[in-house]
Amino acid sequence: MTPQIEILPDADRLAEAATGRFLQSASRAVQSRGVFTVALSGGSTPRGAYSHLAGAQALEWGKALVFWGDERCVPPEHPQSNYRLARESLLRHIPIPAGNIHRMPGELEPEAAAQEYERELSTVFSGNAVRGSQLPRFDLILLGLGRDGHTASVFPGSTALSEQERWVVAQPPVGDGPWRLTLTPPVINAASEVLFLVAGHDKADILRRVLHGPRDPLNLPAQAIQPSDGELMWLLDAAAASLL
C-alpha cells in the first residue's frame, strides 16, 4: 500500500485538513454501519485538529465511539494524559455521550490496564472483526510521529513490534517518562484508515528517514504501520515535509 501524502502550508491548514478527513471517515462509517469507531492520538500535534474538529457541527457524535491509540500510565487529570488532551480540546465541547468515550485506564497498574482495555475492545468490536480474523477494525486511527521514529507508544526496539497476539500492551518508560499503554501494530494495521499528523521542522529529518529511508521498522516503528486492507494517509505541514 503506497501511502498517500498531503502537504499543507502550516499547522492551521493541517488541522483543517485533518478535520476534513476525520469527518469523511465518520460519514462513510455511519452511512454504512450506523457507527464510527476512532482511536485518537496523543502528543501535542493533534491538539489543533481536535480544537478545529470541536467546532465542526457536521458529525452525529452520538454515533461516534472514541478510543485511544495509546496513553501514558497516569491518572486522567494528569497533565501528561492523552485523555486529558482530548477532553480539554475536543470532548468537553461536543455532545458525545459519556458511554461513547473509551478511555485507556492509565491509573491502573500497566499490565492490568492493558488487559482491561483489551477486554473493552473485545466487547465493543465483537461484531466488527476484520474478515477472517478476530482483530478489531477501527474506522480511523490517528497517529503522530516521534523524533525517534516511534508512533503511538511503539518505541524503537519495542517488543510490541513483534507482537502478533495482543491488541494492547504495556510499554516500559522511555527516559524519565511514565509507563505507556499502546495498541499493537496488528490492530493499527487492521484499521480501515490510518492518518498520521506530522508538523514542525523538528520532524523533517525523521520523516524523511521513515518515508524515504531504508526499511528498518525495528528502529523506525512508524514504518511498521502498513494497513493490510485500509488507507494510509500522511498529513504534513510544509516544515515537516521540507526534506522530502
Task: List residues binding ligand 6PG (CB under 6 A).
Answer: 41-45, 70, 82, 144-146, 150-153
C-alpha cell at 132: 477472517
Query: Would strands 231-237 and 4-8 be described as parallel, antiparallel, or unpaired?
Result: parallel
Q: Which is nearer to ligand 6PG, 35 or 143 (CB)?
A: 143
CB of 92 to ligand 6PG, least distance (A): 20
Rounded CA-CA distance 30/32 in Å is 6
Query: DSSP 3-state assignment of 219?
Result: coil
Q: Which is nearer to ligand 6PG, 35 or 196 (CB)?
A: 196
CB of 93 to ligand 6PG, least distance (A): 20
- Cβ(235)–Cβ(195) under 8 Å? yes
CB of 199 to ligand 6PG, least distance (A): 7
- Cβ(170)–Cβ(179) under 8 Å? yes
CB of 222 to ligand 6PG, least distance (A): 9
Q: Which is nearer to ligand 6PG, 79 or 127 (CB)?
A: 79
Rounded to 5 degrees, φ, ψ at 155 are -100, 160
Q: Which is nearer to ligand 6PG, 48 or 227 (CB)?
A: 48
The whole-angstrom distance between residue 197's C-alpha and the CA centroid of its chain comes to: 9
